[in-house]
Amino acid sequence: MTESHRITTGAQLDALYGAPLGRSLTKEIGYISAGYRKFIEAAPFVVVATSGPEGLDCSPRGDPPGFVRVRDRNTVLIPDRRGNNRVDTLRNLVVDPRISLLFLIPGVGETLRINGRAEIVTDPELRESFAVRGKAPVSVLVVTAERVYFQCSKALARSRLWHAEAQIARAELPSSGEIMAEITGGAIDGAAYDRAHPQRLKDTLY
């Protein structure tokens, strides 16, 4: 690949792609409209992107639909459920509050994006309002929406993400235990890791 084939400036991008379609700009607003709120409340899954000194992070969050709560037209609340305690997202946010959210709804081609800023809040009453099975999240992300817009269905249509016939059997890929055994040079017993996984998931889901 020659240097002449590298795109390194905004002007080169504009020349290559042209002006954005008018509709793509019209659908971006600075608040959560009634229609956009319905998308958020129907989504059981959101991808959370952040940036910090150690680099970028993109993490999944999931729960029953409505787990991301719309407090008002500029604010959404996201419970931070149990995880692996790496807290990469949170470590980024305490340094750089910028955040981007991508909401997905099974069977729906459009996705919804929110760009804004987030705070990590540990208010006991707020945390308890998100409790499941008697267990409250350790913290809640309070996200102030600055840019809200939906993405058209082209990506999901091309990927056929929601098509049942496009699903891949889990057995066709390495198991979690096999991956752990490989990357640790056998220090972790992959078979034992896989056997313990169902109970581990059950015990740590909330």
Q: Which domains does the chain have, with CATH numbers?
A: 22-159 (2.30.110.10), 168-204 (no CATH)
Question: Is pLDDT above 70 for 1?
Answer: no
Percent of the chain at pLDDT > 70 equals 99
pLDDT at 133: 93
pLDDT at 114: 98
Alpha-carbon distance 197 to 177, whole Å?
Answer: 9
Question: Is pLDDT above 90 for 13?
Answer: no
pLDDT at 59: 96
Question: Is pLDDT above 90 for 29?
Answer: yes
**How do residues 154-202 score in pLDDT, each as one tens digit?**
999 999 999 999 999 999 999 999 999 999 999 999 999 999 999 999 9
State the DSSP string of 70-130: EEETTEEEEEE----S--HHHHHHTT--EEEEEEE-TT---EEEEEEEEEEE--HHHHHTT
